[in-house]
Amino acid sequence: MSEVRLRPLAEADLVERTKYYRSEGGDELGGRFFDTAIEGLGAIQRMPGSGSPRIGELCDVPGLRSRRVTGFACGWFYFERVGYIDVVRLLAYAQNLATILGDLDENW
C-alpha cells in the first residue's frame, strides 16, 4: 500500500471545503464531509488506479486521476508516484477545473 501525501494546497482545500459545508449545513454536515473526504483518501491508498483519468485527459494533464468524495460534489485529484500517492487538490466539480488544473503536469 502506497503512502498518501497531501500537498499544502490539498490540505488547504480540505480545510476550506470543511468550513464551507459547516457554514452551509452546520457542524454535523461539516464533520460528515471531513470524515468522508478522509475515507476517500483511504480508498485512494488501497486502490490508486481506481480513480478516473477522465478529468486529467480533458484538462490535458497526463497521469492526473480523480476520485469523488462520496455524497458530495467534489473530488480528490492526484498522481500515482513510485512509492506514494501525490494528492494535489480537493476541488468542487462546479469550479473551473480546466483553469485550476491546467497548470499541472506529471512533474508539478
CATH number of the domain to which 31 belongs = 3.30.2310.20
Angle, CA 79 vertex, CA 88 and CA 30 arms, to 5°: 40
105: pLDDT strictly greater than 70? no
pLDDT at 107: 47
Q: Is residue 108 part of a domain?
A: no
Residue 30 scores a pLDDT above 50: yes
pTM for the full model? 0.92
Tens of pLDDT, residue by residue over 54-70, are 999 998 899 999 999 99
Q: What is the pLDDT of residues 90-102, one digit of tens each?
A: 999 999 998 898 8
Residue carrying the nine cell digits 494528492: 87
| Residue 107 lies inside a defined structural domain of this protein | no
Number of domains in the chain: 1
Measured on CA atoms in the order 95, 52, 67, 107, is the torsion positive or negative?
negative
Asked if the structure places residue 97 within a domain, the reply is yes
* Residue 96, Ramachandran bin (φ over 0: left; ψ between -120 and 50: alpha; else beta): beta
Q: What are phi and psi of 63, to 5 degrees?
A: 85, -10
In a domain, 54, yes or no: yes
For position 104, what pLDDT does the model report? 64
- CA 85/CA 78 separation, integer angstroms: 7
